[in-house]
Amino acid sequence: MCLIDNSKSTLLPSVFRKRVFCVFLCASSLLCTGSMAFSSKNDTLALKQDPVAGSSTQFEYFLKNRADPFVPFISEKAATSTVDLNEIVDNKRPLTGMQLFEPGQLTLVALLNKNSGDVAMVEDFTGKGYILVEGTKIGRRGVVKDIAPNTVIIEETAVTRAGKEIITKFVMTLKKEGEE
């Protein structure tokens, strides 16, 4: 069966052909068991069982304020679009604490050596100070890996769509008094 639009002599779009085929398939399967009627007045699709077959139940599907059951779930554009496997995927969890700052937004101002471990002090552009220890999360993907005598090393781990991990190291250096 070929569906041709007589006014333009071209094939009808595949979406329309699929809908017509589905309606044809449903109607032909119902011919064996009952009859189907569509009323455009109140947008209902009614299925009436044949009383000879033994059942006299009636089914009505109301189309008003519902999705069309014959529309495909995946659009042609979505099915044919290409996905960049090297695109970095961010998880959508809310950011808290030091995760609100990217490493480039902070300035290292002091390093302290305590018995329990090294501590770094940083400040943001407003002059507000924060304390960093090893394991502190910074930004969307960064973690403080090491606090050395004059530097703080932050390791950022990003994951691509293909599952490949990209590791970037960011080094914050303590500047001497008067340096910028």
Beta bridge partners of 111: 120
Instruction: Calculate the average pLDDT of the chain.
Output: 76
Higher pLDDT: 6 or 81? It is 81
| C-alpha span between 91 and 175 (Å, rounded) | 34
- The fold adopted by the segment(s) 88-173 is SH3 type barrels. (2.30.30)
| C-alpha span between 158 and 175 (Å, rounded) | 29
Asked if pLDDT for residue 43 goes beyond 70, the answer is no
- pLDDT tens digits, one per residue of 111-140: 998 888 899 999 998 999 999 999 999 988
- pLDDT tens digits, one per residue of 61-88: 777 787 777 787 777 665 556 777 788 8
Asked if pLDDT for residue 28 goes beyond 80, the answer is no
- pLDDT tens digits, one per residue of 143-167: 999 998 899 999 999 998 888 999 9
- The per-residue pLDDT for 9 is 44
Q: With H, G, I as helix, E, B as strand and everything else as coil, classify residue 28.
A: helix
- pLDDT tens digits, one per residue of 89-107: 887 888 888 888 888 899 9
Domain ranges of the chain: 4-80, 88-173
Q: Determine contact, residues 155/146, Cβ cutoff 8 Å.
A: no
Neighbour tally for 125: CB within 10 Å: 9
Output b/e per residue, 146-169; b: 16+ Cβ within 10 A. Answer: ebeeeebebebeeeeeeeeeeeee
